[in-house]
Structure 1
Amino acid sequence: MFPKYDVIVVGAGHAGCEAAHAAAKMGSSVLLCTMNMNTIAQMSCNPAMGGVAKGQIVREIDALGGMSGIISDKSMIQFRMLNRSKGPAMWSPRSQNDRMRFAEEWRLALEETPQVDFWQEMVTGLIIKEKRVVGVKTGIGIEIAAETVVLTNGTFLNGIIHIGEKQFGGGRTGESASKGITEELVRAGFEAGRMKTGTPPRVDGRSLNYSKMEVQYGDQNPEKFSFSDETHPLKEQKSCWITYTNKEVHETLETGFDRSPMFNGRIQGLGPRYCPSIEDKINRFAERERHQIFVEPEGWNTVEIYVNGFSTSLPEDVQYKAIRKIAGFENAKMFRPGYAIEYDYFPPTQLKLTLETQLVENLYFAGQINGTTGYEEAASQGLIAGINASLKVQEKDPFLLKRSDAYIGVLIDDLINKGTEEPYRMFTSRAEFRLLLRQDNADIRLTELGYKIGLADSTRLEKVLHKKEQTARLINDLKQKKLNPEIINQGLENIQTATIKEKITAEKLLKRPQITIEVLKTLDTELNQYLEKFEKDQLEQAEIQIKYDSYIEKEQQMVDKLSNMEDYIIPQRFDYLAIPALSAEGKQKLHKIQPETLGQASRISGVSPADLSILTVYLGR
């Protein structure tokens, strides 16, 4: 009935979709298995993509040739560039999206990818022979052969949904949990754990009083995620709103704490530290009298509203009473209550940097199965797993991203070397080279790499090469172009920055905090005419590189120093237990994780500088 596939992807969420698309685009035959074809790429939580550090990840996925950026652009209803008041390392694109359109666009994109086949059914087990995966088993007893398998099960593995004292099996509300895979992997020697996440109630937007809330508009000149010409910035946007909880809301919620699965011990898994439930916020921050609530539309043509900041697993009657005490929500009608979901995950220290498991060859894990939270984190892992599964089938070298290459590299390196006991979320603070890993230069960093593996196409490559060439030309010309004090001093006075006594280069002037490319245009007519020849992204790139030149150079020097350790390969199956001078913890962690390079070994939690010195000397011998 089925041919043997190069890659079988189990699960069609954000990770599964990226994995299937990447592997197929690189020439592999792919079967995407999902329990429900109608929920492919469903936004289970908030209808938004990007945000702090997450926006950088979406741009990196796009630069490599993935689809999350394009899908986000096509389904966008609002765009905002966060942290514009800070330096460019912190700028983070974020979009509100039409939930239904997002899922539809992903499904259409996959259906338009010839190498992707679909099968709607629960995968209940794996076929493993001699520590190598060779296929999957389904609920109705079908066995499908494959060279590689990518598991992207999200919150479905033995998922349990909690609403107050009620609990029932489910991977999402209205969908059944996935059974069988965890038990099989544990029998194969894998360590498993439990995590939890939650979601807020959804309400009827027609029942809200927006005059009592603060409106939150999109950017005046909205941008987009994708570097390609396939999508365009929004011409029209939908607004969001902000309101706040209050003392009365908190007191009402507290009446249900005795029935909360969070507090009475029914939920064992740890939840996301940086996205706590409303009851957790009240409990942990008792001194605060209010908490921010973001009121987010779920699409262009629906009245459904996502109540961001009100995630809860309290009884539905308590949720309903409390939400109606929020300003603007006095007459709110609830579509469905919030809930918590508990699910199985596998500590990611059991993986290689390719996201292939150490215990079973040709088996890859991506997304929440690895202990992460967030669409963007999941999608990036799916992309890397799909790429490496395809390369493994083709018997080519694996595709690895270092911490200095991308936020995706930071994410995977953190997971494998440090592990995680709570849902992992990406932040800019996790990246030590964040000035190099900006959202604006993701294409410059990664598109050539994506092209080399057959994922990014030649049009993408030509576009990024042109951008690099034009940016370099512009920077060089700004270094040569001298500005006359008689022409520009009046303009400098107008913006309250020091005037000049002699000619100065445009590049030197641009280093001043008050001066931007747009300001330069107003100072000199001739310079303005020259700058108008360049595209917006080229001008932005030149400005950032000039303003932060010395900082970028210092960061690059740090990368170069560390690269020697990254390039020092440790032999496979190296026997760390045979080195008596290593600390007991160092031996244990190195033996478990089996780092591939000295650089990776240096970042493993529990491996001390002394352990590293001993290992370096031992390898040198």
Structure 2
Amino acid sequence: MSYTYENYDIAVIGAGHAGCEAALACARLGLKTIVFTVNVESIALMPCNPNIGGSSKGHLVREIDALGGQMGKTIDQTFIQSKMLNKSKGPAVHSLRAQADKHDYTEFMRRTLENQENLTVKQAEIVDILTEDGHVSGVVTHTGGIYPCKAAILATGVYLKARCLCGESITYTGPNGLQAATHLSDSLKRLGIELVRFKTGTPARIDKRSIDFSKMEEQFGDETVVPFSFTTNPEDVQKDQVSCWLTYTNEKTHEIIRSNLDRSPIYAGVIEGVGPRYCPSIEDKVVKFADKNRHQVFIEPEGNYTNEMYIGGMSSSLPEDVQYRMYRTVPGLENARIVRNAYAIEYDCIPATQLKSTLEFKKVEGLFSGGQFNGSSGYEEAAAQGLMAGINASMKLLGKEQIVLKRSEAYIGVLIDDLVTKETHEPYRMMTSRAEYRLLLRQDNADMRLTPIGHQVGLISDERYEALLEKKAMIEKEIERVKHVMIGGSKEVQEFLEAHKSTPLKTAVSLAELIRRPELSYEILEPLDKEREPLPEGVIEQVNIHVKYEGYITRQLRQVEQFKKMEVKLIPEALDYNDISGLRIEAQQKLSAVRPHSVGQASRISGVTPADISVLLIYMEQFNRSHRKETV
């Protein structure tokens, strides 16, 4: 017998990084929300590397925070080491990365969910999505409970029909031996949703007491920690940090792997799913990069109160006996004791081209999706999608305009546009190279770009928004000031420039002109700036970047204006691509499947050529003209 429980506005299925952001966003926007998880112990679980951020991923976390999400706040409270990556390069690729205490991270996020108004946490496996007239009407648990709802968000991660592989051993579980969700896939297929199999993996965890760190290179965190959240007081994140360690594989390691490839599920044909190209197993590295005689191995603590150490760079699905021999060839791991074996996990997910740019399914109204289930990889990519799915499900129910971030507005916009537009044949990973306008989409200005949108949605308080407007005004005022402050060629100035290996002045120049010199900066020039008043660190950073890179920024802004011309050319929903005789058959098929909302999005679909876009533009003009006549 089935029982019907109280009604909810939104049901979130899964409480990983996507589900947490989705559920919190919905509840904070006033929607009565319930989030389901197969195990409350797995809320915001970090089954792979316990870190947040990294190259391009740090941008995503900053953007999540700027929109009113939770991930940045949580890692600021629970990190054990923090480092700004790529500091020797330009600001466009600076990326914050923090090692988390994985237990504390999970606990902090769980407390946040459990104490959020309008949000209910429920441990249960969802086995069915109910619909009425093509619209979501409820969800059903494995124990027969029916929870009516107006919208649902799929955030199932790697749990759908999951199985873990370690050599010849196969267990039908989710990560870390947690229960898999084995029934929902069939329900989704009945709704006409296409599923595919992807796989990912994780390395072994090794007992810290069995590691000889004297044979490794110690890796320290930054002396001055920069927080992820724009709301975190920088003074609150200055604390003692733990060390990580660097070592390397060698030819002996590689020989053991090569001689046992037939026992790897990846090469024995046992694994059906497609793995991530940009985070390969150690077997893949040895085979595909046969010319390399060593690979980096990062030894990273899983937390303050555990001896488990994560062996980054050596994920594997080789049998346990091979893992022992392989790991013990690495300097410092000669006597390693494995606490948890490395394994591969494969799972059901979707080609995300089935989704609108709002992350709502095209075939099922009110059904949204976010996270690894959409064919992506990584905690940060998942959280970003979960936040946007939560926002858009809420906006739909509240009768407000849904939010689609442009590629020129955010890394999140690039991420979602790539997923819903391009065919993804492997787990998608965010990279700075995917963003066409990365000088504009820096992590340092995520608040300037996205906090107004978060405020418009309702996730950013008036107080935080007013603080942003004040910061913006200070930046603009200071930029104007440094353009008009003139520095002459006095003895003091010439000696200062010589000390910083900078060309002496022949005539007076503006402070802005000096800031633009590669060897100088706003901060370095402080002794020459007699009129300067104290400013917040965030304002100083923005002034320096804006002045130093003004020419490049202006050029990218012009490119964005060109980009917008294609993005605002909206394609009529009623348009039938099969009626466009000039389109190639492949383009007709791809455009019909994806149904892009704009010409810009259509141009990014794999298999659609510039010639196809030209034909489409001509047809659209004729289509719109004929429809205008019909309405007259």
Superposition TM-score tier, normalisation by shorter sequence? over 0.9
- Corresponding position of 1:62: 65
- Select which of 383, 388, 392 maps to 1:384: 388
Answer whether contact 1:76 1:234 (CA < 8 A) is retained: no
- Corresponding position of 1:561: 562
Answer whether contact 1:13 1:154 (CA < 8 A) is retained: yes
The 2-side partners of 1:608 and 1:254 are apart by: 42
Deviations, residues 310-331 of structure 1 (Å, cap 9, x unaligned): 1000001110121112111112
Pair 1:268 & 2:272 matched: yes
The 2-side partners of 1:390 and 1:134 are apart by: 15
Structure 1 residue 127: deviation in Å? Answer: 0.7
- Corresponding position of 2:494: 489
- Corresponding position of 1:143: 146
- Corresponding position of 2:629: none
- Corresponding position of 1:549: 550
- Corresponding position of 2:90: 87
The 1-side partners of 2:279 and 2:612 are apart by: 36
> Could you say what secondary structure the match of 2:175 adopts?
coil
The 1-side partners of 2:516 and 2:212 are apart by: 47
The 2-side partners of 1:75 and 1:332 are apart by: 27
The 2-side partners of 1:573 and 1:412 are apart by: 24
- Corresponding position of 2:196: 193
Pair 1:233 & 2:234 matched: no
Q: Which amino acid aligns with 2:589?
A: Q
Equivalent pairs, count: 617
Structure 1 residue 405: deviation in Å? Answer: 0.6
- Corresponding position of 2:536: 535
The 2-side partners of 1:428 and 1:562 are apart by: 18
The 1-side partners of 2:328 and 2:335 are apart by: 6
> Could you say what secondary structure the match of 2:176 adopts?
coil
Pair 1:478 & 2:482 matched: yes
- Corresponding position of 2:628: none
- Select which of 297, 302, 308 maps to 2:306: 302
The 1-side partners of 2:316 and 2:128 are apart by: 33
- Corresponding position of 2:117: 114
Structure 1 residue 616: deviation in Å? Answer: 1.2
Q: Which moved more, 1:447-456 or 1:569-578?
A: 569-578
The alignment's C-alpha RMSD in Å is: 1.2
Answer whether contact 2:113 2:121 (CA < 8 A) is retained: no
Q: Which amino acid aligns with 1:388?
A: N
Deviations, residues 56-111 of structure 1 (Å, cap 9, x unaligned): 00000000000010011111111111111111111111111110010011111112
- Select which of 426, 429, 433 maps to 1:429: 433
The 2-side partners of 1:390 and 1:496 are apart by: 56
Change (3 A) 1:340 1:559: same
- Corresponding position of 2:526: 521
- Corresponding position of 2:626: none
> Could you say what secondary structure the match of 2:392 adopts?
helix
The 2-side partners of 1:412 and 1:318 are apart by: 39
Q: Which amino acid aligns with 1:413?
A: D
Pair 1:167 & 2:170 matched: yes
Unmatched 5+ stretches in structure 2: 623-632
The 2-side partners of 1:3 and 1:419 are apart by: 39
> Could you say what secondary structure the match of 2:111 adopts?
helix
Change (3 A) 1:424 1:475: same
The 2-side partners of 1:616 and 1:284 are apart by: 43
Q: Which amino acid aligns with 1:550?
A: G
Pair 1:341 & 2:342 matched: no
Pair 1:28 & 2:31 matched: yes
- Corresponding position of 1:586: 587
- Corresponding position of 2:465: 461
- Select which of 443, 449, 456 maps to 2:447: 443
Map residues 4-43 of structure 1 onto 2, 5 A cutoff.
4-43=7-46
Structure 1 residue 230: deviation in Å? Answer: 6.0
Q: Which amino acid aligns with 2:519?
A: Q
Unmatched 5+ stretches in structure 1: none
Answer whether contact 1:125 1:181 (CA < 8 A) is retained: yes
Answer whether contact 1:161 1:173 (CA < 8 A) is retained: no
> Could you say what secondary structure the match of 1:517 adopts?
coil
Q: Which moved more, 1:544-553 or 1:249-258?
A: 249-258
Pair 1:511 & 2:512 matched: no
Normalising by structure 2, what TM-score? Answer: 0.96
Q: Which amino acid aligns with 1:545?
A: H
Normalising by structure 1, what TM-score? Answer: 0.98
Q: Which moved more, 1:46-55 or 1:567-576?
A: 567-576
Q: Which moved more, 1:485-494 or 1:406-415?
A: 485-494
Structure 1 residue 173: deviation in Å? Answer: 2.4
Structure 1 residue 336: deviation in Å? Answer: 0.8
Answer whether contact 1:77 1:234 (CA < 8 A) is retained: no
- Corresponding position of 1:500: 505
Runs of 4+ in 1 over 3 A off after TM superposition: none
Answer whether contact 2:357 2:416 (CA < 8 A) is retained: yes
- Select which of 349, 356, 381 maps to 1:352: 356
The 2-side partners of 1:164 and 1:2 are apart by: 44
Structure 1 residue 525: deviation in Å? Answer: 6.1
Q: Which amino acid aligns with 1:540?
A: E
> Could you say what secondary structure the match of 2:192 adopts?
coil
- Corresponding position of 2:630: none
> Could you say what secondary structure the match of 2:518 adopts?
coil
The 1-side partners of 2:233 and 2:544 are apart by: 26
- Select which of 268, 277, 282 maps to 2:281: 277
- Corresponding position of 1:289: 293
- Corresponding position of 1:214: 217
> Could you say what secondary structure the match of 2:9 adopts?
strand
Map residues 389-408 of structure 1 onto 2, 5 A cutoff.
389-408=393-412
Q: Which amino acid aligns with 2:518?
A: P
